[in-house]
Structure 1
Amino acid sequence: MSSYRDKLDLESCRERLKDLETVREEILKIAREVRINATKAIASIHARKSPENFIDAAVECFKKLKSYEPRFPELYHPLAHDAEQELVEAMVLRDIIEKRFDFSITLNVKPSAFVTGLADVIGELRRYVLTCLIGGDFEESRNFMELMEEIYANLLQFVELPDKLVPGLRRKLDVARSAIERTKSDYIAAKVARFHESLGRNR
């Protein structure tokens, strides 16, 4: 750790900043690969396909990304957050669909990325519920809606933290609350439609 006795001059500043410029591009490139694979994993889940290949690829990229943290924390923390968050989102959604999510994750991400990634899962669950409703699977839809509510309720404890610690969480939870209410309305509408459909068949 630097102390007030350490010598700092313009030349050493220039060298460090030039290094940071190069490393910044490397971090951005790897973070982009993490996000691309995480996005593909989520798309696979919604398509009812295995996301494992994409999640594995995202995790491998994340390991490379994480190696920059000890040496370049001033770059890693602001540039890697979104990648960490999206990887959390993909892994949590996978665990939920496979019925093994327990509000934890085996991944060395920052707490803020876990919390905000979990908030984004609520929107993905809405998409999944709508697909279930189209298929007439009301029991599965209800189970996922209950989990949406549970995730939301558990995340409310973090709302009072400064936005610098959990970037965008308040906005994400506002969006999540709206998604939950709209999903409930869609569920009721689908149930009513199914009821009228059954009446028509029985006439």
Structure 2
Amino acid sequence: MSICVGKDDLLKHMEAVLKRIQTQFNELDEIRERCFEMSRKLIRQSSIAIKHIHRTELDKAKAMLNDAMKIAKELSEIISKHSDVASWGFVQDAQRELSEAAILFSIVSGEKLPDPCELNVCGVAYVHGLAEAMGEVRRLILDGLNRGAKEDVKTLLRIMEETYYLLLAFDHPDTITLGLRRKVDQLRSLLERTHSDVTIALQCAAVISSLQKHSENLKGAQ
């Protein structure tokens, strides 16, 4: 076998190719640093928004969400130029957290449910955020039981149930949904526990109410 390409020509070409790749990697590393910091801010803003929602400080929650959505838009613009960014775990985590906060805000405030395009998040992050938002809905249900807000509890439980059944329809491979099936299984377990908690609490409330009425009737008869 004879080697036709000269050693020097081959190495020069190799060096030029690798320099171009290294330049690309350096640029991507700078982008990664920017996106990592933006993702951290996005997660922080979304988490704070969720805290405000549970405290019924909806104006503060809305302000945090607006700030978070600006960051998400910046991230989306970077993704449009560098598609690799979309697959980075911390970017997906940030988009999921924003989706969760925005969906929870919609449930509590009664505002229109935002779609992924409005939030500048991908569909996978959105459905994961929707599933995780149901954990926060459970917290709202338990709080409603403590306050005796029976109608709110029933409404939230129905939202939780319907969301589970809607997500159950996503039977696509994990390579597409990135583990959504496991999250839906966890939601089913959470829903069962919530059903049990609500049933027990309402039964206890009914017994207490019946005893109070009985006590009042006895006092009235004396």
State if a TM-score over 0.5 links the two structures.
yes
For 1:155 and 1:93, the matched residues in 2 are separated by 16
State the 4+ residue runs in structure 1 displaced beyond 3 angstroms.
Answer: 100-105
Find the residue that maps to 1:140 and give its secondary structure: helix
Runs of 5+ unmatched residues, structure 2: 1-13, 216-222
Map Cα deviations across residues 162-198 of structure 1 (whole Å, 9 max, x no partner): 2122122112111111111111111111112212222
- Count residues with an aligned counterpart: 196
Output aligned runs, 1:68-83, within 5 Å: 68-78=78-88, 79-83=90-94
Among 122, 128, 136, the residue aligned to 2:140 = 128
Question: Secondary structure at the residue paired with 1:61?
Answer: helix
Alignment of 1:1-203 (within 5 A): 9-50=17-58, 51-78=61-88, 79-101=90-112, 104=115, 106-158=118-170, 160-202=171-213, 203=215
Alpha-carbon contact 2:72-2:120 (below 8 Å) kept: no
Aligned residue for 1:165, secondary structure, equals helix
Q: CA RMSD in A?
A: 1.8
Q: Which fold has the larger relative contact order, with Cα–Cα distance below 8 Å and residues 6 or more apart in sequence? A: 1
More helix by share: 2
Normalised to the residue count of structure 2, the TM-score between the two structures is 0.82
Distance 1:68 1:104, change over 3 A: closer
Structure 2 CA distance, aligned partners of 1:80 and 1:134?
37
8 Å CA contact retained: 1:132, 1:141: yes
Percent identity, aligned pairs only?
31
Q: Which is greater in Rg?
A: 2
TM-score normalized with structure 1 length: 0.90
